[in-house]
Chain A
């Protein structure tokens, strides 16, 4: 187990480095840079001299490999630098928005798991009955309905039927939990539906697989209660693949809420990313991508560790 963990741990670094390189090079291919964009409003009224000075000030005059070196060294020290657009430290730009996106992702996960586990298990137990068909249609629809449109529909129904709109200004949870919930429950539900669909389908297929195993038949044959059999023998073993999809979706959700944030006017990481791209704010884009990809890579590592711990077949393979 030790050797496996070490190998798996070390494998994270080439991937992280790859993400860093790809991001660094990709964004420099986007036409225009932050200085050009900032002065573009003045329509050539700014002299080339000023532009050059500004570029030198934020280090854009350096050769690309040198910029890359500075950035990588900074990151190794967990220093992401300052935003090229606002000049504020990156961490100050990200902090509040990260809290918001994280909270929506956590709430969506709760919604998804609460829906997926009972529905998935039920569908598997009643395979090929109308219950199974209903659950499957409900979950395939969850994959089909765009979360951002579902969000628009929520707002529409709240507005027309209940004559009420969720608050548009973000209140942190620790300031006013009630106001915070009133605002964030809707995006969490909109995203959670899709998320639950993915998890329901996985729960169903994993349960179906497990229910065909010999040890389940044995447990049934010796007359074990259905509920105990389900909880102790079947669900426990079916949980591994479900855990994986929930974990992976959660990691992606933190940075991938872009469109839903737009609908609900939420100032989260996704919206920040769109702004950063349109401002060509290289340092901010880099930091955001590294954050989101880093969460995903670490999450995968943790899932693999959990797998190896829970399932001996993995660690001896």
Chain B
């Protein structure tokens, strides 16, 4: 008996994490590749001043539209700014806007979804109608209108991208929360006399975590894509701030024939980032909640 107890060594918190990560990499190689690219992006964003060969906003008219070379690996743009350095710094913008918008959007959406499922009845009906209304606007149209109202700074951009995500998350979370509402432990919490906010925040919200995380990772890629689209239209991040969508605007199309590197590389960066988040999100969904459908 004592032998049995001894052999049941409880793994420490950190080794459990490492074990889970190793398991994830082994079973879902595609997801692990995605995670690897995401880590690289973070490193690039955080260490941008160290790794970027040039100042991303430094104008150099002597090196205008220079093709890729030993000095400028990915060439320069119409102002002689180094494309590689702008891409590296651009990852900061993409990550800040992507994480800001999807964290806020998914969290507010999850709260609305859980509250909607918990209260039911009229409140549920009312919240669902509001979500229906928000869902009826195409993503880009709603974001465009919001940017026009708020003006284009980075925080406003985050709000504009966040709002269209709210109803999409609320819908999914509500359906997961509906089944949780019927669980005995929610009844028990209610019987114990806990208030609504405590039951929602402490008992229901943690149990829709799987759906929440899946929605969050699915939103990350979309948010980066939407930011790039808005910046490309000139309604997002403004010059001279480096952002991938912005780099594709104007001169990149004008000089596409003579300086194709200006149009190619920022698009590759956007695609790679969104691709990585989608790969990771897909594998996370398969691991956490295979029945959930995103996109």
Mask: chain A, 288-317; 1 = CB below 8 Å from B; 0 = not: 010011001100000000000000000000
Q: Shortest Cβ distance from A130 into chain B, in angstroms?
A: 12
In the bound complex, CA of A145 to CA of B269 (Å): 10
- Asked whether A148 lies within 8 Å of B271 as measured between CB atoms, the reply is no
Q: Are B137 and A153 in contact (CB under 8 A)?
A: no
> B100-108, B139-147, B193-201: which one contacts chain A?
B139-147
Per-residue interface assignment for chain A, residues 263 to 304, with 1 indicating a CB less than 8 Å from any chain B CB and 0 otherwise = 100000010011001100000010001001100110000000
Within 8 Å by CB of A256, from B139, B146, B273, lies B139
Whether, in the assembled complex, A141 has its beta carbon less than 8 Å from a beta carbon of chain B, the answer is: yes
Does A85 have its Cβ within 8 Å of any Cβ on chain B? Answer: no
Contact B271 A144 (CB under 8 A): yes
Chain B 240-270 per-residue mask, 1 if CB under 8 angstroms from chain A, else 0: 0000010010001100110010011011001
* The residue from B134, B232, B260 contacting A259, defined by CB atoms under 8 A apart: B232
Contact between chains at A19 and B133 (CB < 8 Å)? yes
Of A241, A277, A278, A292, the residue contacting B138 (CB under 8 A) is A292
For window 242-267 of A, CB contacts with B under 8 Å fall at 252, 255-256, 258-259, 262-263
Q: Are A148 and B295 neighbours in the complex by a CB distance under 8 Å?
A: no
A159 at the interface (CB under 8 A from B): yes
Q: Does B202 contact A (CB under 8 A)?
A: no
Give Cα distance in the complex from A148 to B226, angstroms.
11
Q: A15-B133, A140-B279, A143-B278 are in contact. Are A153 and B141 (CB under 8 A)?
A: no
In the complex, are the beta carbons of B138 and A18 less than 8 A apart? Answer: no
Interface string of B281-295 (1 = CB under 8 A from A): 010000000000101
A146 contacts across to B, CB distance below 8 A? 225, 228-229, 232, 245, 267, 270-271, 274
Contacts of B134 in A (CB 8 A): 22
- Asked whether, in the complex, the Cβ of B136 is within 8 Å of the Cβ of A259, the reply is no
Majority secondary structure, A binding face: helix
Q: Mark B115-141, 1 if CB is under 8 A from A, else 0.
A: 000000000000001101111111111
Distance in angstroms between the alpha carbons of A160 and B252 in the assembled complex: 15
A15 and B129 contact, CB distance less than 8 A: yes
Docked CA distance A241–B144 (Å): 29
Q: Is A149 part of the binding interface, using a Cβ–Cβ cutoff of 8 Å?
A: yes
Residue of B nearest to A205 (CB): B293
Of A29, A152, A259, the residue contacting B267 (CB under 8 A) is A152
In the complex, B233 has a CB within 8 A of chain A: yes
CB-CB contacts below 8 Å: A131-165 with B: 133, 136-137, 140-141, 143-146, 148-150, 152-153, 155-156, 159-160
A7 to B162, CA, bound (A): 32
Of the candidates B136, B221, B245, B257, the one whose C-beta lies within 8 Å of that of A156 is B257
Indicate if A198 sits at the interface (CB-CB under 8 A).
Answer: yes
- B8 in contact (CB, < 8 A): no
Q: Which residue of B lies closest to A150 (CB)?
A: B267
**Nearest neighbor of B268 in chain A, beta-carbon distance:** A149
CA distance A186 to B271 in the complex (A): 19
- Tell me, in angstroms, the Cα distance from A273 to B140 when the chains sit together: 11
CA distance A144 to B144 in the complex (A): 20
- A102-142 interface mask toward B, CB cutoff 8 Å, 1 = contact, 0 = none? 00000000000000000000000000000001001100110
B129 near A29 (CB under 8 angstroms)? Answer: no
Contact B278 A252 (CB under 8 A): no
- Contact check, A152 vs B256: say whether CB atoms are below 8 A apart: yes
B54 within 8 A of A: no
Given contacts A18-B132, A18-B133, A26-B149, is CB(A258)–CB(B144) below 8 Å?
yes
Judge if A35 is at the interface, Cβ distance under 8 Å.
no
Is there a chain B Cβ closer than 8 Å to A27's Cβ? Answer: yes
Q: Which residues of A contact B (CB under 8 A)?
A: 14-15, 18-19, 22-23, 26-27, 29-30, 133, 136-137, 140-141, 143-146, 148-150, 152-153, 155-156, 159-160, 198, 201-202, 205, 241, 252, 255-256, 258-259, 262-263, 270, 273-274, 277-278, 285, 289, 292-293, 296-297
Q: List 11 A-B contacts (CB under 8 A).
A: A15-B129, A140-B275, A144-B272, A146-B232, A146-B274, A148-B248, A160-B260, A255-B138, A258-B141, A258-B233, A259-B140
- 7 closest pairs, A vs B, by CB? A149-B267, A18-B133, A256-B138, A144-B275, A144-B274, A293-B136, A252-B138
